[in-house]
């Protein structure tokens, strides 16, 4: 159906509800509604449902799995990082840390431009903080942010050549 802001905008137009009216009905400050509509601020399904109810609507969310289309390179990277995720524990992260730190330094010397430089810093922070949950999200995520993070992954050399070959063979 569209983004939350699109849904809110569509219902406001169809009900001819102004931002000021919606603010008075919902108790949500008008500048916040303006930021929701402009996309400057994200808001939850619960917040959208509340705003819609003030205009006589309710939110229905339909969830269905959708296979993500990745380029061949992105898919190979995802599969390799997914394999790493199977072995990722707080203990394995400590074991991997020397290799990861060396890789981060090498990447910092050769990588330029955004978002790559910023993503290297994000990797460094997650490793330093032993953020296993955050690492799992990046290793297995199919969102554009995770794909971009994996483009400058410091996790090369963690998988054995045999593991790497098996994963890449399965990708064919």
Which residues contact residue 67 at a Cβ distance below 8 angstroms, ignoring those fewer than 6 apart? none
Write down the pTM of the prediction: 0.66
Using CB atoms within 10 Å of the CB of residue 75, give its burial: 0 to 12 exposed, 13 to 18 middle, 19+ buried: middle
**pLDDT of 5-60, one tens digit each?**
999 999 999 999 999 999 999 999 999 999 999 999 999 999 999 999 999 999 99
**What value does the mean pLDDT take over residues 103-113?**
95
Half-sphere exposure of 117 (CA within 13 A, CB side): 5
All structural domains of the chain with their residue ranges: 4-53, 72-171
Interatomic CA distance for residues 98 and 85, integer angstroms: 18
């Amino acid at each position: 159906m569209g983004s939350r802001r699109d849904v809110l905008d569509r219902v406001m137009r169809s009900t001819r509800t102004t931002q000021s009216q919606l603010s008075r009905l919902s108790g949500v400050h008008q500048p916040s509604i303006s930021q929701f509509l402009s996309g400057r601020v994200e808001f939850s399904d619960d917040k959208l449902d509340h705003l819609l109810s003030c205009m006589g609507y309710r939110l229905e969310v339909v969830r269905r799995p959708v296979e993500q289309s990745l380029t061949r390179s992105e898919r190979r990277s995802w599969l390799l990082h997914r394999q790493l995720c199977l072995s990722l524990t707080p203990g394995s992260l400590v074991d991997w840390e020397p290799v990861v730190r060396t890789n981060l330094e090498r990447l910092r010397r050769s990588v330029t431009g955004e978002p790559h430089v910023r993503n290297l810093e994000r990797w460094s922070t997650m490793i330093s903080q032993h953020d296993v949950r955050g690492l799992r999200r990046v290793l297995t995520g199919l969102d554009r942010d995770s794909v971009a993070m994996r483009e400058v992954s410091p996790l090369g050399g963690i998988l054995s050549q045999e593991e790497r070959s098996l994963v890449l063979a399965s990708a064919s």
